[in-house]
Amino acid sequence: MKSRSRVRPAAARRVPFWDAAVRLLHWALALLVLFAFLRDDGDWWHRAGGYAAVVLVAARLLWGAAARGNARLAAMQPSPRATRRYLQLLRRGRAPRQAGHDPLALWMVWLLWTLVLLLGLTGWMSRLDMFWGDERIQVLHAWIANGLLAAVALHLTGVAAMSWLWRENLPAAMVTGRKRELEGNALDPTDSTATRASINPAGAPPPTARQAAPALPACGQRAAVRRRQPAAAALRTPPAAR
């Protein structure tokens, strides 16, 4: 019996998804994190790479607050409920393909950003006079660095797994900015935003009062006609007859 764990994509066109700012910040941050780990001796270059990584994370957050479309932070809010639902589908081998980040990837994005910010903070604290020679700050910095290494490894594993499952090169999409269009405009069962958009599409004008009002039943229409008939007959009666 054939397994249905892998999604077989139909012939679909590739549409723009990730903008240039998102791609540039993504790969620049990846290179800086790699550089900081390779030059792990605490010298000026290591510190400069760490501070630059913090600046890139801050720039991505600012861009997400100001940008529109898929780069906005409003589209990257993790949801425990959506995550539980997605995990259930993933265990059954029926995880739906996402246009952007899946619910698990959203948690990973925020985890990576948080760890980079914490590394920059503890690295800066270790240079202050009040913490000079304090091994607790150095140990904490090392633990956070190891946590970032583990998170990066898990991130790369997830990217490889979902690329295989969805049969789409996700790293290439972060280079070109284009992703395969969702087939059949299918709704993501874990995305409440998509469900709301399908009920009331963005940009659709609200219904007018006449459109929103329900039609009268047939008996109600006949009763209304009968009520109007005596009034109309009275208007047609000549003055002498009154």
188-222 pLDDT, tens digit each: 433 444 433 332 333 334 444 444 444 444 444 44
Q: Is residue 155 part of a domain?
A: yes
Residue 215 to residue 110: CA distance in whole angstroms: 51
Let me know the angle formed at the C-alpha of 77 by 72 and 81, rounded to the nearest 5 degrees: 150
Number of domains in the chain: 1
- The CATH number of whichever domain residue 78 belongs to comes to 1.20.950.20
**Per-residue pLDDT tens digits for 115-138:** 999 999 999 999 998 988 888 999
Residues 6+ apart with CB under 8 A from 23: 174, 175, 177
| Predicted pLDDT at 3 | 44
DSSP-based three-state secondary structure for 205: coil
Q: Which residue has the tokens 């009154």?
A: 242
Is the model more confident about 197 or about 86?
Answer: 86
The more confidently predicted of residues 147 and 180 is 147
Does some domain include residue 2?
Answer: no
Within a domain: residue 214? no
What span, in angstroms and rounded, lies between the C-alpha atoms of 102 and 76? 10
* Burial (Cβ within 10 Å: 0-12, 13-18, ≥19) of residue 151: middle
Residue predicted with more confidence, 38 or 1: 38
Whether residue 230 is contained in a domain is answered as no
- Work out the mean pLDDT of the chain and round it to a whole number: 77
Task: Specify the range with the lowest mean pLDDT, choosing from 59-73, 80-94, 145-159, 181-195.
Answer: 181-195
pLDDT in the model for residue 48: 95
Residue 194 in any domain: the answer is yes
Q: Which domain holds residue 161?
A: 16-199
10 within domain boundaries: no
pLDDT band at 226 (very low <50, low <70, confident <90, very high): low
Q: Write down how long the chain is.
A: 242
Is 213 a domain residue?
no
Q: What is the pLDDT of residue 91?
A: 85
HSE-up of 85 (CA within 13 Å, CB side)? 13
Residue 104: inside a domain, yes or no? yes
